[in-house]
């Protein structure tokens, strides 16, 4: 059993959730109850997959927790695609490398799934071609000093740098950092957009596989032939065995604007910079607290205005893509949700004299979900202890006796780059003044 699966089973056991979970049941239909206009209730039809029987139940609230990877999305058909004699499959159907030995494979798209599939297949396939329309900035999962990348990106200190410094300084520092690992232009991956104007690709092996020649980067497909592909730059691959290959009108990506009641919620229908699990937990906390009457959402007009404002901001920031309609920044989004149910963590400034150790961790440690359990509904008395031990747990994944420190976040190359640019900016200002 995998560790994540084991964790979920232990979690369900600890909180006695098993009795509330119906496995081998399929939801056939969800519709407004006859008195929905008054109560907001829902009628749900469920099929027991073992017995084949159907049942109908009425619920006060419904959460849709399918995320955005449940159904595969196929791009518009390319010229000659129907005449292609090789195998075509979606990444959604990919399980492992078996069956691809000594094959020539084209992986279309450089999202995280595409990058992972390409690197895995490059170890067994005859040749892998990675097809990308616009390129991508590639982050390592293992960041400076062996820290996970999100432990750096999801700290309060880094969030302050992102919003407090001139965008040009942050962009230059991040591009320099990423290009020091490998030159994105030389490897055919440098995009036209800024580092945080699109969802990045997280992959440690990709540059090594490109450098060794087992993966070759190609631009957008122009057309298919019977046995190969032609690309927009005029190049072609004559033999290919396999090709792999949404605006949301909802307040905080949770509450559909078309509904009069807030008794139906969407969980996980987002694409975050960072882990989705803490966000899904926070979404569930918001929904349950609002449903039980503990908190109240803004008015429908205010929610509609927020949806419009969010969409306009995303259109300005991100490159045009269907996946960027549900993109969120981990820390900002968590704070927005937390504010709805009054569980925002104390600021580091407010803790500076009363609890300096916690203040330091609040500023520099990665913001795990238990930061938001210090107060508000269902606060947890063990939150502080969990926060203070997060850095130890990061390093103890590889060394059980090691001790961690949030100060490690300040030692990264990116911090050195940013510090250099700040010093340069200060010196430039002083020179202009004199």
Q: What is the pLDDT along the chain (434 residues), one digit of tens a residue?
A: 578 889 889 999 999 998 899 999 999 999 999 999 999 999 999 999 999 999 999 999 999 998 776 666 777 888 988 889 888 888 888 888 898 999 999 999 888 888 999 999 999 999 999 999 889 999 988 887 778 888 888 888 888 877 877 888 888 888 988 998 899 999 999 998 888 887 788 899 999 999 999 999 999 899 999 888 999 888 888 888 776 654 568 899 899 988 989 999 999 988 887 888 999 999 999 999 999 999 999 999 999 999 989 888 877 776 665 555 678 889 999 999 999 999 999 999 999 999 999 999 998 888 999 999 999 999 999 999 999 999 888 888 888 888 877 666 565 555 666 666 677 677 777 777 86
Coil vs helix vs strand at 25: strand
Nearest alpha carbon to residue 259 among 251, 271, 268: 251
Helices (H) and strands (E) in the chain, counts: 15, 19
**Residue 45 CB neighbour total at 10 angstroms:** 14
- CA dist 158 to 105, 203, 332, Å? 39, 21, 12
Q: Provide the pLDDT for residue 411.
A: 58
**131 and 215 Cβ atoms separated by less than 8 Å:** no
Q: Provide the pLDDT for residue 419.
A: 66
Q: How many alpha carbons fall within 13 Å on the CB side of residue 73?
A: 9
What angle do helix axes 156-164 and 356-364 make, rounded to 10 degrees? 60
Beta bridge partners of 106: 129, 243
**Can you tell me the distance from the alpha carbon of 352 to that of 347, in angstroms, rounded to the nearest whole number?**
9
**346 and 374 Cβ atoms separated by less than 8 Å:** yes
**Can you tell me the distance from the alpha carbon of 275 to that of 141, in angstroms, rounded to the nearest whole number?**
12
Beta bridge partners of 9: none
Rounded-to-10 torsion of CA 58, 62, 67, 72:
30
Residue reference for tokens 């020091």: 180
CB-neighbour burial class of residue 75 (10 A; exposed 0-12, middle 13-18, buried 19+): exposed
**Can you tell me the distance from the alpha carbon of 117 to that of 128, in angstroms, rounded to the nearest whole number?**
10
pTM greater than the 0.85 cutoff? no
Q: Provide the pLDDT for residue 412.
A: 59
What element of type H or E holds 223?
strand 221-224
**Can you tell me the distance from the alpha carbon of 122 to that of 313, in angstroms, rounded to the nearest whole number?**
38
**Can you tell me the distance from the alpha carbon of 18 to that of 22, in angstroms, rounded to the nearest whole number?**
8
Which distant-in-sequence residues (6+ apart) come within 8 Å of 152 by Cβ? Answer: 143, 144, 158, 366, 409, 412, 414
**Can you tell me the distance from the alpha carbon of 120 to that of 179, in angstroms, rounded to the nearest whole number?**
23
Q: Quick one: CA dihedral 145, 149, 153, 155, positive or negative?
A: negative
Q: Each residue of 389-411: b (16+ CB within 10 Å) or e?
A: ebbeebbeeeeeeeebbbebbee
**342 and 295 Cβ atoms separated by less than 8 Å:** yes
Residue reference for tokens 């989004």: 333
What element of type H or E holds 52?
none
**Can you tell me the distance from the alpha carbon of 343 to that of 77, in angstroms, rounded to the nearest whole number?**
47
**Can you tell me the distance from the alpha carbon of 333 to that of 336, in angstroms, rounded to the nearest whole number?**
5
Nearest alpha carbon to residue 394 among 150, 157, 145, 148: 148
Give me 47's structure tokens. Answer: 């099929």
Beta bridge partners of 224: 229
CB-neighbour burial class of residue 432 (10 A; exposed 0-12, middle 13-18, buried 19+): exposed
**109 and 132 Cβ atoms separated by less than 8 Å:** yes
């Amino acid at each position: 059993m995998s560790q994540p699966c084991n964790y979920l089973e232990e979690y369900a056991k600890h909180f006695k959730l098993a009795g509330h979970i119906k496995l081998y049941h399929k939801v056939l239909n969800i519709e407004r109850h006859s008195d929905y206009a008054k109560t907001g209730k829902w009628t749900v039809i469920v099929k027991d997959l073992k017995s084949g029987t159907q049942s109908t139940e009425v619920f006060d609230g419904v959460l849709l927790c399918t995320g955005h990877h449940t159904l595969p999305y196929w791009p518009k058909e390319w010229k000659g695609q129907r005449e292609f004699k090789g195998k075509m499959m979606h990444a959604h159907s990919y399980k492992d490398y078996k069956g691809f030995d000594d094959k020539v494979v084209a992986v279309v798209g450089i999202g995280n799934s595409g990058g992972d599939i390409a690197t895995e297949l490059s170890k067994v396939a005859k040749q892998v071609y990675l097809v990308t329309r616009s390129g991508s900035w590639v982050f390592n999962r293992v960041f400076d000093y062996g820290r996970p990348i999100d432990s750096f990106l999801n700290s309060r200190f880094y969030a302050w740098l992102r919003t407090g410094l001139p965008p040009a300084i942050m962009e230059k520092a991040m591009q320099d950092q990423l290009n020091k690992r490998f030159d994105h232009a030389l490897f055919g991956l440098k995009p036209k957009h800024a580092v945080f104007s699109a969802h990045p690709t997280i992959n440690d092996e990709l540059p090594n596989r490109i450098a060794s020649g087992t993966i070759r980067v190609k631009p957008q497909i122009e057309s298919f032939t019977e046995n190969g592909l032609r690309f927009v730059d005029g190049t072609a691959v004559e033999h290919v065995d396999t090709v792999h290959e949404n605006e949301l009108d909802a307040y905080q990506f949770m509450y559909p604007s078309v509904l009069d009641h807030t008794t139906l919620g969407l969980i996980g229908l987002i694409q975050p910079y960072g882990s989705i699990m803490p966000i899904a937990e926070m979404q569930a906390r918001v929904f349950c607290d609002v449903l039980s009457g503990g908190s109240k959402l803004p008015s429908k007009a205010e929610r509609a205005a927020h949806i419009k404002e969010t969409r306009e901001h995303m259109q300005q920031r991100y490159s045009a893509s269907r996946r960027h309609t549900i993109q969120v920044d981990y820390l900002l989004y968590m704070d927005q949700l937390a504010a709805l149910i009054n569980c925002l963590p104390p600021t580091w400034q407010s803790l500076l004299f009363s609890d300096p150790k916690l203040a330091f961790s609040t500023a520099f440690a990665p913001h795990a979900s238990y930061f938001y359990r210090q107060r508000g509904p269902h606060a947890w008395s063990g939150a502080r202890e969990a926060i203070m031990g997060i850095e130890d747990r990061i390093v103890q994944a590889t060394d059980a006796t090691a001790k961690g420190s949030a100060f490690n976040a300040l030692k990264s190359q990116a911090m050195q780059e940013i510090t250099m640019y700040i010093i340069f900016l200060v010196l430039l200002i002083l020179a202009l003044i004199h």
